Chains A and B, each alone.
Chain A
Amino acid sequence: MRPLYELSRLGMCYDGAAVLDVEGLEFAAGEMISVVGPNGAGKSTLLGVMAGLKPGYTGSCRFEGREVRDWPRRLFARAVSFVPQTLRLEFPFTAEQVVMMGRTPYCDGLFEAPEDQQAVERAMATTDTLEFRQRDFRSLSGGERQRVVLAAALAQEPRVLLLDEPATFLDVKHQLAIHDILRELSRAEGVLVVAATHDLNQAAAYSDRMVVLDHGKVVAEGAPAEALRPDVLEKVFGVAARVERMDGGELWIRFGGAAGKGAQT
């Protein structure tokens, strides 16, 4: 089967400085991908390009065989949805109104159809957000907001879900719940999930494949055990790292000391 996304020689510059320089990457339907790397590695930029939010890229980023920037926006929004890291609102929209905005690419005219309302109900049930549907989004906690934003993305019924650090503000319980939701989406419905994250252990536990970015370049890529090698982690994150296996076979990454000074020397 043809991959959903094909990236080749993908570049992006801000003020003349290259922040992204990806030689080649492919993502297929149903995969669960984590993109990791230090701050400023280009994770958000990569997701932004894939989400069609940064049309000024160079090289090629194809979705279903067609350049992302050439897609009709509305059609593209029915296929790909993007979950930003945070959402700050100036105005008093309710949680449900925020989720309903996910239905925009399906709506004609001023008002939503009954199937839009059903999609919103489903998305809010999945993310456990129904109980505060009528509350002002701004009054919710960081974790509640994050789940509402995810619900808005689910209501969009996409084939691809791009998430920028989806679990940052969540407590452990909801972190696990969100990862289970994402896994279920990818397994049962064949949704491609690409998430940028800082939590290597979570990423290793849940991903099929990981992409390690540094200074905009892919420095390692593959199954968690292949991508997260101690030498890669040390070079990229600048700290000593050990990769161990737990009893169940899961990877367990431990950091200690700055590179060159820690246990490794």
Chain B
Amino acid sequence: MRLLESRRAALGAAAILAAVVAVAAPLIGPAAIDFGKVWAGLSPDAEIFYYARLPRVLLALVAGGALSVTGVLFQALVRDALADPYVLGVAGGASLGAVLAISFGWHGAAGVSGVWLAASAGAAAALLLVLAIATQGGRMSSFTLLLAGITINSICAAAILFLHNIVEFSQSFVVLRWLMGGTQPVEYSTVGWLTLVVAVVLVVIMRRARDWNLLAVGEEWAAARGLAVQRLMITGFIAGSLLTGAVTAITGPIGFVGLIVPHALRIRWGADHRFLIPAAFLAGASFLAVCDSVARTVMAPAEIPVGVITAMLGGPFFIALLRSRRRSLWL
């Protein structure tokens, strides 16, 4: 019961933190702005706050939350704390899809952006490929999974470079800008659409939160307790591909958010997905928004892509995690 109380408190704290970040992060940046003037609607502080920074911070919040939840989901599905959209090559697949759509000027179908559709399809394709490579006789090897993910990432990166070189100059510039990633000024409408997609997928995932617990223990364990395991896994993989695709289409590849945040939460508060999913969303949101604020201030007026910051934090973290469990990895 004590743990339950502590989880409730943690969820509350994570929500407050995310709210504080949402208000405070837009105040930070190369040009100093004053919240009083923003509140009063005075120029130029209000313009900078509302048009340059707030949508960007909101994007970072939603993207960070979505990537972090995707990490939780993939980790439960493959029963491996090292899995996240980046490590599994899913982000690479999404990037290749997005770059293909940009390069060939595919504008989409039925009013849905081509880049979004292509990124989600790329994510799903990469995921299927990695799982097919890593599964043998109904069992999944953690080691092969990671190697396959890295390989898919490399292949996708090479294909993106190739595309970048053969497309016309104007397209090439768009590709490059997209690849730089991060949270370049975006429209409110884009953030709105992303929020909608993420919210719908989150509801689907959250309704199954108790079932992810059983799946994180084992497929047989879940099946022996009456769950439709196959349907559950397909739901999870589609949801994860959609989240990765939608986020990557806008921000470009951002790695390791889905690795660091869930792991840190589990150490202190355990693995119950009814807590983990909302907590990972809130904490991941704050994490990426803070990283993004760092990215646009440390070298101001120049900007570092936020993916660089998360990779610099996430890389060593990943290696530490890998070392701590090397023994089980080789089994």
Residues of A within 8 A of B266 (CB): 91-92
Contact A73 B223 (CB under 8 A): yes
Among listed B41-49, B169-177, B210-218, B295-303, interface-contacting one: B210-218
Shortest Cβ distance from residue B58 to the other chain A in the assembled complex, whole angstroms: 28
- Cβ of A78 < 8 Å from any Cβ of B? yes
Closest to A112 in B: B210
Question: Given A87-B217, A110-B209, A93–B271 Cβ distance below 8 Å?
Answer: yes
Closest to B228 in A: A73
- Cβ of B226 < 8 Å from any Cβ of A? yes
Among listed A96-104, A189-197, A235-243, interface-contacting one: A96-104
- B206, B211, B267: the one within 8 Å of A92 (CB): B267
Contact A101 B81 (CB under 8 A): no
Shortest Cβ distance from residue B42 to the other chain A in the assembled complex, whole angstroms: 46
Contact B213 A97 (CB under 8 A): yes
- Cβ of B225 < 8 Å from any Cβ of A? yes
Contact A110 B79 (CB under 8 A): no
Shortest Cβ distance from residue B152 to the other chain A in the assembled complex, whole angstroms: 22
Shortest Cβ distance from residue B57 to the other chain A in the assembled complex, whole angstroms: 30
- Cβ of B166 < 8 Å from any Cβ of A? no
- Cβ of A82 < 8 Å from any Cβ of B? yes
Question: Given A84-B220, A134-B3, A91–B81 Cβ distance below 8 Å?
Answer: yes
A169–B169 CA distance with the chains assembled, in angstroms: 67
Question: Given A97-B270, A111-B274, A89–B217 Cβ distance below 8 Å?
Answer: yes
Question: Given A76-B226, A97-B270, A53–B213 Cβ distance below 8 Å?
Answer: no
Closest to B269 in A: A92
Shortest Cβ distance from residue B121 to the other chain A in the assembled complex, whole angstroms: 29
A78–B81 CA distance with the chains assembled, in angstroms: 31
Closest to B82 in A: A90
Residues of A within 8 A of B226 (CB): 73-78, 104-105
Residues of B within 8 A of A51 (CB): 224
- List B272-303 residues whose CB lies under 8 Å from chain A: 272, 274
| A 98-135 binary contact with B (CB < 8 Å = 1; else 0) | 10011011010011000000000000000000000010
Question: Given A73-B228, A82-B224, A105-B226, A92–B270 Cβ distance below 8 Å?
Answer: yes
- Of the listed residues B80, B207, B270, the one surrounded by the most CB atoms of chain A closer than 10 A to its CB is B270
A105–B227 CA distance with the chains assembled, in angstroms: 8
Contact B225 A93 (CB under 8 A): no
Closest to B271 in A: A91
Inter-chain pairs besides A82-B220, A104-B210, 12 sampled, C-beta below 8 Å: A51-B224, A73-B227, A75-B226, A77-B226, A89-B217, A91-B81, A91-B271, A93-B272, A101-B225, A104-B226, A104-B227, A110-B206
Shortest Cβ-Cβ A-B pairs, 6 listed: A77-B226, A91-B271, A74-B226, A105-B226, A104-B225, A82-B224
Report which A residues bind B (CB closer than 8 A): 51-53, 73-78, 81-82, 84, 87, 89-94, 97-98, 101-102, 104-105, 107, 110-111, 134, 156
